[in-house]
Copies of this chain bind each other. A is one copy, B any other.
Amino acid sequence: MRPPCGYRGPVIVDCALYRDGRRTDSGTHWRQLRAEADQQGDFVWIGMHDPDEDEIHEVAEVFGLHPLAVEDAIQPHQRPKLERFDDMIFLVIKTLWYIDADDAVETGEIALFVGPDFVVSVRHGDGNELHSAREELEQSRKVLSHGPGGVLYAVIDRVVDEYLDVTDELVIDVDEIETSVFSNDRTNDSARIYVLKREIAEVRRAVLPLRDPVVRLASGDIPAVPEEATPFFRDVADHLARAAETVDSLDALLSTAFDAHLAQISVQQNDDMRKISAGAALIVVPTLIAGVYGMNFKHMPELSWTYGYPFALLLMAAAAGGLWVLFKRSGWL
């Protein structure tokens, strides 16, 4: 259990000073850490979770964050974007996670303020905790040596890996729908396809607008990202492209599945109609025979036969049976 970061409540979930690619043990209050980060290459990373306006403003003041960026970090529901303010950058990314219980995709948001010697991360929502990403980053001295850009990479890489986890789950969902559509059960798949399309649109809204920021980070033009860190961001860009492709491909596949579902409904209706018609024939033909022997002609020899009645019943049964065989053979029943 690390020492608390000197803030009331659990808002600042972690904070540390990094020097020479290592986490130092110095200081526990974030203001103190900030003050100690006075050597070349030092930087602090302060992680906040669901802060309220006052808390974020306090940090913003100390680090000199741009008011427009701070406002965006306070209010969730921003678009993923990368904004430059002089030597500082501001990044918003959507986080995604999959809830198995109801096959739903949930979204959160992480805002990152990255300056020459600090990173402030503001996370909204429950998913994609950053603690383990930080721990992993602290294992890799090489990435940490990229400074704040390394933190940026660690966070984005983690979030994009979660995207791939989510798309893997969606692939499974689409497979299930596919099986259901082409099964003989009369499942009403349209609602499920609709919901899944909605989830996919949600994922797309997180993935697609992030591509441009990541490509810019990989281009080497962003001051926080040193030249040797760009291959890492290109790798992330590639994973992001894979997520985007999967999502597009699933969406197209679902549209096709929906069309197939419509075709199945039509085919079933046709089958039903033929079954019903065949069944009706089994009743109305005997009814006609009964009608014939219900006629009142004086001269109807069958009527006076001793076995006329059983004969008529047999005739009906034979007619119905004959039709049955006929329809069975032609596939109508």
Which residues of A (274-297) have their CB < 8 Å from a CB of B?
274, 276-277, 279-281, 283-288, 290-297
Closest B residue to A275 by CB, please name it.
B277
Binds B, one of A9-17, A28-36, A119-127, A305-313: A305-313
The digit string for A82-107, where 1 denotes a CB below 8 A from any CB of B, is 01010000000000000000000000
- On whether the beta carbons of A253 and B198 are closer than 8 Å, the reply is yes
Which residues of A (249-294) have their CB < 8 Å from a CB of B?
249, 252-253, 256-270, 272-274, 276-277, 279-281, 283-288, 290-294
How far is B120's CA from A99's CA once the two chains are assembled, in angstroms?
A: 42
Known: A268-B270, A269-B273, A283-B284. A313 touches B296 (CB 8 A): no
Closest B residue to A201 by CB, please name it.
B249
**Which residues does chain B contribute within 8 Å of A242, judged by CB atoms?**
78-79
Closest B residue to A142 by CB, please name it.
B67
Contacting A209 at CB < 8 Å: which of B66, B241, B260?
A: B241
Does A53 have its Cβ within 8 Å of any Cβ on chain B?
Answer: no
- On whether the beta carbons of B269 and A272 are closer than 8 Å, the reply is no
**Which residues does chain B contribute within 8 Å of A209, judged by CB atoms?**
241, 245
**Which residues does chain B contribute within 8 Å of A285, judged by CB atoms?**
283
- On whether the beta carbons of A300 and B296 are closer than 8 Å, the reply is yes
- On whether the beta carbons of A249 and B205 are closer than 8 Å, the reply is yes
Known: A256-B194, A308-B298. A263 touches B262 (CB 8 A): yes
Does A191 have its Cβ within 8 Å of any Cβ on chain B?
Answer: yes
The digit string for A37-78, where 1 denotes a CB below 8 A from any CB of B, is 000000000000000000000000000001010001000001
Q: Closest CB-CB distance, A142 to chain B, in whole Å?
A: 9
- On whether the beta carbons of A293 and B295 are closer than 8 Å, the reply is yes
Q: Taking each of A186, A295, A303, A304, which has the highest tally of chain B beta carbons within 10 Å of its own beta carbon?
A: A295
Chain A residues touching B, range = 35 or more
Binds B, one of A18-26, A130-138, A144-152, A229-237: A229-237
Does A219 have its Cβ within 8 Å of any Cβ on chain B?
Answer: no
- On whether the beta carbons of A279 and B281 are closer than 8 Å, the reply is yes
24 contacts across the A-B interface (CB closer than 8 A): A66-B231, A68-B231, A79-B242, A85-B231, A182-B194, A188-B263, A194-B257, A205-B245, A258-B259, A261-B263, A262-B266, A263-B265, A266-B266, A269-B270, A270-B272, A280-B284, A283-B284, A284-B287, A292-B313, A294-B296, A296-B300, A297-B303, A297-B305, A297-B309
Binding site for B on A (CB under 8 A): 66, 68, 72, 78-79, 81, 83, 85, 178, 182, 186, 188, 190-191, 193-194, 197-198, 201, 205, 209, 231-232, 234-235, 238, 241-242, 245, 249, 252-253, 256-270, 272-274, 276-277, 279-281, 283-288, 290-309, 312-313, 316, 331
What 10 new A-B contacts, CB under 8 Å, besides A294-B294, A294-B295?
Answer: A178-B194, A188-B263, A197-B252, A197-B256, A258-B260, A265-B266, A272-B277, A273-B273, A295-B309, A295-B312
